[in-house]
Amino acid sequence: MILTDLNMKRILVTLMLILSVTALFAQKERWQVRSGNKAYGKGDFQKAELEYRRALDKDSASLRAKYNLANAMYKNQNAEAALQMAGKMLSDSTGIQPSEKDMPAIFHNMGNYSLAQKKWSEAVESYKNSLRINPGDMETKSNLAYAQKMLKNEQDKQNQQNQQNQQNKDNKDNKDQDKKEDKKDNKDNKQDNKDQNQDPKQDQNQNQPPPKITPQAAQQMLQAIQNKENETQDKVKKEKAKLLQSQQKEKNW
């Protein structure tokens, strides 16, 4: 396709309009950022946050507007949202990426946002990331030392609490064991007292089962008694007979 002079002029005009609109939005974005900076400097953080949001409406990729908005939200007691905004600056691949020169300040601020939420471990890591790029920053070093101290205090407190919980558990287990042993001892003592108070003869008699006699055995016992009785009677009769014989001889002489 061959472009005529007229077509070329139309294309150039379109490009100029696009550039003009972009420049206009960029100017408005910068103006909103400057307005937000003035409010921030005066301590009017709510107005500053509003102006930075307006700047992002004009240019959603504005790194300066995002950075300043995070600080304004932090000043407005919204450290969690500020931390999220700072995180987007590092992870958003569609916007303008922070330069290496910007990274130490971003990490430093993220450490501050974490401190405000008592996220000591996250704060320590953010300050260390900042110092890896700019190791000479004394303010970051000071904040890192504070965050490390608070982290250690939290860990010591947690360890102490764990030890106390374990000690309480051990004491409870010991008390439960003592109660079980006392209960068993009381039961054994009661049984011993019962055994001591009981008559041994009575126990012996109670332990011996009553004799069992079958009808056949009973009949045999009766028969044996009867036989014994018959033998006794026969013996008596024989004794009487001898006595009579003796008397008869004497009479006959």
pLDDT in tens, 73-96: 999 999 999 999 999 898 876 667
Q: Which of 19-23, 184-188, 227-231 is predicted most confidently?
A: 227-231
Q: pLDDT above 90 covers what percent of the chain?
A: 45
pLDDT in tens, 37-59: 999 999 999 999 999 999 999 99
* pLDDT above 80: residue 6: no
Cα(36)–Cα(51) distance, integer angstroms:
5
Say what the pLDDT of residue 241 is. 61
Which amino acid, one-letter code, is at 134? Answer: N
| Least trusted range by pLDDT, from 61-70, 96-105, 175-184, 241-250 | 241-250
Q: pLDDT above 70 covers what percent of the chain?
A: 72
In angstroms, the first-to-last Cα distance of the chain is 194
68 close to 94: Cβ distance less than 8 angstroms: no
Say what the pLDDT of residue 184 is. 75
- Looking at domain 17-94, its CATH architecture is Alpha Horseshoe (1.25)
Within 10 A of 51 (CB to CB), how many other CB atoms are there? 25
What residue ranges do the domains of the chain occupy?
A: 17-94, 99-158
Average pLDDT, the chain: 79
